[in-house]
A and B are shown apart, each in its own frame.
Chain A
Amino acid sequence: MSALPPPGEPIIDPAFAPGATVEVNDVSVWFGPKVALSELSCSFGPGVTGLLGPNGAGKTTLMRTMTGLLGPNTGSVRVMGRDPRADRSVQQSLSLVPEDEAVPAGVTARQLVRYVARLHGVGDRGAPDASLATVGLTDVADRRVGGFSKGMRQRTKIAAALVTGPTVLVLDEPLNGADPVQRAHLITLFRRLGAEGRTLIVSSHVLHEVERLAERQIVLLRGRLAAAGDHRAIRDAMADRPRRVLVRTRSTRALAGALLELDAVASVAVDGTEIIVSSTRARDIAVALPRLARSLDARLDEVRPLDDSLESMFRELVR
């Protein structure tokens, strides 16, 4: 599903980002009889893009395919115009933070980050320490990562990914295990990296954090593209799914009765001083509601959409 632009503007498929650095063209990936990705086409550009979907939707497979860990069965992936499987030089500009908790147990955080820096030919000898400082691991840099907590392991992997100064950074559940302070810190960091013009592709199950983090979302369902774009635009495009509006008033019965008379209203639920109106034409409700309230001499204490969040959009999509 794609969000339509306002009338008069050219129709641009929101699955494709302008100035794309990562292009996924008609990609299918399967493991034996299980299809993980099916004819998926989309692209990612500078800034932060959230990659959403329920478990088994194909997010991790897509991320692994984009970085070259997995080759697609059909279709192609291009990162900065190059195939990450065939042209290993593209790895110079690409980093992955995988969901896997596994880290090489026998090395310290500093040794691991230095190793990644050396593999990528990073000449700045201070880069590993700076990268560890960025994720707040300076104090424990000489401790073995095998003894780290889940959150610290995650931050070590992020430090290892950042040390190469990647143009494209793919993060699979990067906030897993991080405490609230660290989560806030990492979200700020990712937003800053996106603002610098890097391409960040972030998957997370914590939708309100993705909402804070990403200006654009790609939603996968059963290996296929379900929606793309800003979540509000996606929600607007889901015209067949009713939207819910909360109306708080003391004249609940009179207003609810009047609302039910409107063609635009699908259903009305009354609970105390609250009316929850369901409609596929929320704009018509917005126009009609003040007029009805005036005519009934009812005071509107609060009017607020209930499903404008990323979470409600996601819930509607996967329903």
Chain B
Amino acid sequence: MTAATRARGRPPFGAVLGFTLRTCLPARRWWTLAIPCGAAVGFGLLSRLSDEPADQAFATVADVGLFSLLIPIACLVIGDAVLGAELRSGTFHFTFLSPAPIWTIVTARWLGGWIVSLVTLVPAMALAAVVAQSPESVPAIALATAAGSAAYVGLFVLIGCVTRRTAVWSLAVVFFIERLLGSSLTGIAQLSPMWEGRAVFAGLGPGTDDLLRDGLPEGWAAVVRLAIITAVTLGLACWRLRHLRLTGSSD
């Protein structure tokens, strides 16, 4: 064995980020991710069947199909892949047993996941707006998807640190807490990536009057809210990871 010399002060952030992008999304996950991305374009085409003006029809489709279904599911695939799946498989010790600070590990993992969502989900949503013949919606849907997916990936990274049954709990959070409770309780919606992402689009997109909701910030204010949600989820994930008992894949 060679005597390994240390290069102090070199941040491991880049190493964790590179590893996340290279390793955490195997081919199967990419194919799984292709389904919601393809479905988004399908929803865009579907909106052309509506008698409403194109912008309004796309806003309706974005509300029921994109924000409520596809973005959460796609982000679940990504968010689980970047941390929860590795915790379950028993390979996380390669990263955890290092001098890298916990916050570096969590933020690099989250950033890796967010980058994946930016290069897959955002173009798919923008393409959905284009095929829906609502090109004016492209900037708003792209921004809403980018900000919403940042918060969602953070949320699913946190859930991955809390439970091994990430998919079950994540779907429960999305459909029971966000969708069911969030639709009736504004206090829940204010903390929900789904509702806040929708509010970004409602505040900035054309033909989105029906999507506006009292008690929720809109447009850029919702972007700020999503940034705060992201920061809080990552902070909680750091705290949780610091106290996690890693028992390996066999236990």
Q: Is the CB of A100 within 8 A of B26?
A: no
Complex CA–CA separation, A127 to B4 (angstroms): 6
Residues of B within 8 A of A118 (CB): 10, 12, 14-15
A163 close to B99 (CB less than 8 A): no
Q: A104-B94, A107-B23 are in contact. Are A70 and B247 (CB under 8 A)?
A: yes
Which residues, 164 to 183 on A, are CB-close (under 8 Å) to B?
164-165
CB distance from A58 to the nearest CB of B (A): 13
Known contacts A100-B250, A102-B91, A119-B12; is-contact A165 B1 (Cβ 8 Å): yes
B91 touches A164 (CB 8 A): no
A18 at the interface (CB under 8 A from B): no
User: By the criterion CB–CB under 8 Å, are A67 and B97 in contact?
Assistant: yes
Q: Which of A60, A67, A122 contacts B5 (CB 8 A)?
A: A122
Give chain A residues whose Cβ lies under 8 Å from the Cβ of B243.
Answer: 71
CA distance A124 to B1 in the complex (A): 12
- Is B90 at the interface (CB under 8 A from chain A)? yes
Flag whether B93 is at the interface (Cβ < 8 A).
yes
* B100 and A88 contacting across the interface, CB-CB below 8 Å: yes
In the assembled complex, how far is the CB of residue B12 from the closest CB belonging to chain A, in whole angstroms? 5
Complex alpha-carbon distance, A107 and B15, angstroms: 13
Give bound CA distance, A319 to B106, whole Å. 47
Q: Indicate which residue in B4, B8, B12, B91 contacts A104 across the interface (CB closer than 8 Å).
A: B91
**Are B98 and A162 neighbours in the complex by a CB distance under 8 Å?**
no
B2→A91 contact, CB < 8 A: no
* Contact assessment for B100 and A98 in the assembled complex, using a CB-CB cutoff below 8 Å: no
Cα distance A126–B1 in the bound complex, in angstroms: 11
Q: Could you say which of A9-17, A108-116, A255-263, A267-275 contacts chain B?
A: A108-116
Task: Given the known inter-chain contacts A70-B245, A100-B250, please indicate yes or no for A120 contacting B99, CB distance below 8 A.
Answer: yes
A102 contacts B249, CB within 8 Å?
yes
Q: Is A7 an interface residue (CB 8 A)?
A: no
Chain B interface SS verdict (over half): loop
B95 within 8 A of A: yes
A117 to B247, CA, bound (A): 24
Contact B247 A124, beta carbon cutoff 8 Å: no
Closest A-chain residue to B9, C-beta based? A121
A104 and B90 contact, Cβ closer than 8 Å, known pairs A123-B6, A127-B4, A193-B1: no
Cα A70 to Cα B97 with chains together (Å): 11
Interface of A is mostly: mixed
Q: Which residue of A lies closest to B14 (CB)?
A: A118
Band of interface residues on B = 35 or more
When distances are taken between beta carbons in the complex, the residues of chain B under 8 Å from A117 are 4
**Inter-subunit contact B95/A100 (CB<8 Å):** no
A69 with B5, Cβ < 8 A, contacts A88-B100, A105-B26, A119-B95 known: no
Residue A77 at the chain B interface, CB threshold 8 Å: no
* Cα–Cα distance between A91 and B104 once the two chains are bound (Å): 15
Residues A98 and B248 in contact in the complex (CB < 8 Å), given A107-B23, A116-B94, A116-B98:
yes
Given the interface pairs A70-B246, A88-B100, A131-B1, the reply to whether A122 lies near B6 with Cβ below 8 Å is: yes
Chain B residue contacts of A91, Cβ below 8 A: 97-99
Q: Which A-chain residue is minimally distant from B104 (CB atoms)?
A: A119
Instruction: Choose among A102, A127, A134 the residue that contacts B90 (Cβ–Cβ < 8 A).
Output: A102
Interface contact B247-A126, CB-CB below 8 Å = no
Chain A residues, CB < 8 A from B251: 31
Q: Is the CB of B6 within 8 A of A89?
A: no
Cβ of A122 and Cβ of B245 under 8 Å apart?
no
- The reply to whether B23 and A127 contact each other, CB–CB distance below 8 Å, is no
Q: Is the CB of B10 within 8 A of A69?
A: no
Q: What's the Cα separation between A31 and B91 when bound, in Å? A: 21
A interface footprint on B1-36 (CB within 8 Å = 1, 0 otherwise)? 111111111101011101100110010000000000
- CB <8 Å contact, A121 and B94: no
- Do residues B1 and A130 form an inter-chain contact, with CB atoms below 8 A? yes
17 new A-B contacts, CB < 8 A, other than A69-B247, A88-B98, A104-B91, are A68-B97, A70-B245, A71-B245, A89-B99, A91-B98, A104-B19, A106-B23, A112-B94, A116-B98, A119-B12, A119-B99, A121-B6, A121-B8, A121-B9, A123-B5, A123-B7, A164-B4
User: Which A-B residue pairs are the 9 nearest by beta carbons?
Assistant: A123-B7, A165-B4, A118-B15, A119-B98, A130-B2, A102-B90, A69-B246, A100-B90, A122-B4
Listed in ascending order, the chain A residues whose CB lies under 8 Å from chain B are: 31, 60, 64, 67-71, 88-89, 91-92, 94-96, 98-100, 102-107, 111-112, 115-124, 126-127, 130-131, 134, 160, 162-165, 193
User: What are 10 pairs between A and B in contact, CB < 8 Å?
Assistant: A67-B93, A69-B96, A69-B246, A98-B93, A115-B94, A119-B16, A120-B98, A123-B7, A134-B1, A162-B1
